[in-house]
């Protein structure tokens, strides 16, 4: 607001007629010389609005200076009114809002793994000896019954021949000689018994003497003893034949054990020994795997192992074969590996054509049953020092919510706690908000 300054003459204004004389009025915008201070300033009390004269005739006793307090008060009210007009409350901030929903998502888990035979074994000789030859190499495909390796058999052949001779002798005794001796003793006893009956009858009739009776009685006892002895000899002979058979079977088995044959159709995984080496009984010579069925093996963390269950459908891509197989998760190890602390998961794969080979690298994918997720745009979550927060729209006001986030799926992030289905989430404009700010949806 513009104010014109006018200074009245310091001459005393007459009170007659309640007005001022024309000579007493200083033109607007001019100052009487008598009213200029020594420093060239105008006395503040003598300022009047433009075009007006000092109402000297209307002032109370004491002059124009008595109006100064009232003028200052009016000026303060004027300035305060202008300032109040400039502090009007800001309008509500515009924000974008979306409803919070949930959805069921099937989770896929992927691991790198390798192919391994469904069954493996280490083959060894049952007896000690010198390896004569190994007929296969690592990676060879073999069939059930195929000869894989052999020991030098000479020592065991000698033992077999000696045992065969002893068996033959024992069988001759038990099957021919001793039975013949028993038959002979029995025939002699039968004859003696017939004579004994005849002489005993004659002795009753008085036709034979006591001496005759004593002689035949003694003969009968001797022949009975001979039969008993022959019977016992035959029993012992038969036992000896059985022992001889066992003595023959053992070296024969040892001789047969100088050869290793494949127990099934499979693949040679490793050749451990070499021709010409001396080997002990039970020491591994070859490692063999059954390849009609194979495992796709992966390492599972303890958290993964606890979430998985057998019979989950699996997809296995084999890099070496450049093809995909389908199977089921059949085994989840119960004991963690001492080095990796992982549990072994195994997916069984059919391999009738032998395309899968042990050691091939794979990518194994398992699809877990779906679970409910609350997913929000990643940009809607503000990462503060203390926690992650979002803002929700609540009846025209922005409310701050502390949230716990989980997995990131593309441009969305899982919210595990802090939001509920049905909440109105602020997704744009939230970065400038404070808790309780007034907002309006776009």
Instruction: State residue 69's pLDDT score.
Output: 58
Residue given tokens 């070499």 in the structure block: 274
User: According to CATH, what is the number of the domain 96-103+371-441?
Assistant: 2.40.420.20
Question: Which residues lie across from 412 on neighbouring strands?
Answer: 377, 409
State pTM to two decimals: 0.50
Degrees, nearest 5: CA angle 411-412-416: 160
pLDDT computed for residue 409 by the predictor:
87
pLDDT at 78: 55
The confidence score (pLDDT) of residue 290 equals: 87
The helix (H) or strand (E) run that includes residue 393 is strand 388-394
Q: What is the DSSP letter of 96?
A: E
**Is there a contact between 403 and 363 (Cβ–Cβ < 8 Å)?**
no
DSSP alpha helices (H): ranges in 319-373? none
Burial class (CB in 10 A: 0-12, 13-18, 19+), 390: buried
Tokens of 385: 């020092």
Radius of gyration in angstroms for the set of CA atoms belonging to the chain, rounded to a whole number:
61
Q: How many CA atoms lie within 13 A of 353 on its CB side?
A: 3
Give the mean pLDDT per block of 10 residues along the chain (442 residues).
37 37 41 41 42 42 54 58 54 93 89 92 94 93 93 93 92 92 94 93 89 92 94 93 91 93 90 94 93 93 90 94 94 92 94 89 90 92 93 94 92 94 94 92 90
């Amino acid at each position: 607001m513009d104010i014109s300054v006018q200074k009245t003459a310091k001459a005393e204004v007459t009170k007659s007629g309640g007005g001022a004389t024309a000579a007493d009025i200083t033109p607007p915008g001019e100052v009487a010389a008598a009213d200029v201070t020594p420093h060239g300033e105008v006395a503040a009390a003598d300022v009047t609005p433009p075009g007006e004269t000092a109402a000297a005739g209307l002032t109370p006793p004491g002059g124009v200076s008595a109006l100064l307090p009232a003028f200052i008060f009016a000026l303060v009210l004027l300035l305060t009114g202008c300032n109040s007009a400039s502090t009007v409350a800001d309008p509500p901030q515009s924000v974008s809002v979306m409803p919070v929903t949930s959805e069921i998502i099937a989770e896929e888990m992927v691991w790198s793994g390798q192919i391994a035979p469904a069954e493996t074994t280490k083959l060894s000789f049952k007896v000690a000896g010198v390896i004569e030859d190994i007929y296969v190499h690592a990676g060879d495909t073999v069939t059930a019954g195929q000869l894989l390796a052999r020991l030098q058999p000479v020592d065991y052949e000698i033992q077999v021949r000696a045992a065969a001779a002893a068996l033959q002798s024992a069988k001759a005794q038990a099957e021919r000689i001793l039975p013949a001796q028993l038959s002979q003793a029995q025939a002699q006893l039968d004859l003696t018994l017939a004579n004994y009956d005849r002489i005993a009858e004659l002795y009753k009739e008085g036709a034979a003497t006591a001496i005759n009776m004593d002689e035949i009685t003694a003969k009968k006892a001797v022949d009975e003893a001979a039969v008993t002895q022959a019977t016992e000899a035959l029993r012992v002979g038969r036992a000896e034949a059985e022992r001889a058979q066992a003595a023959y079977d053992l070296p024969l088995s040892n001789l047969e054990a100088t050869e290793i044959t494949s127990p099934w159709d499979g693949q040679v995984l490793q050749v451990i020994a070499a021709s010409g080496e001396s080997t002990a009984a039970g020491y591994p010579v070859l490692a063999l795997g059954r390849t009609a069925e194979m495992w796709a093996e992966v390492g599972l963390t303890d958290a993964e192992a606890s979430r998985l269950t057998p019979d989950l459908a699996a997809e296995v891509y084999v890099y070496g074969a450049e093809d995909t197989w389908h199977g089921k998760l059949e085994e989840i190890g119960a004991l963690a590996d001492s080095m990796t602390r992982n549990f072994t998961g195994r997916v069984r794969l059919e391999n009738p054509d032998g395309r899968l080979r042990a050691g091939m690298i794979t990518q194994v994918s398992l699809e877990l049953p779906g679970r409910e997720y609350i997913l929000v745009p990643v940009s809607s979550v503000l990462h503060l020092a203390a926690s992650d927060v979002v803002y929700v729209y609540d009846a025209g006001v922005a409310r701050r919510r502390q949230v716990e986030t989980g997995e990131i799926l593309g441009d969305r992030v899982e919210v595990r706690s802090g939001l509920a289905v049905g909440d109105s989430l602020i997704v744009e404009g939230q970065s400038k908000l404070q808790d309780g700010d007034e907002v309006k949806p776009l």
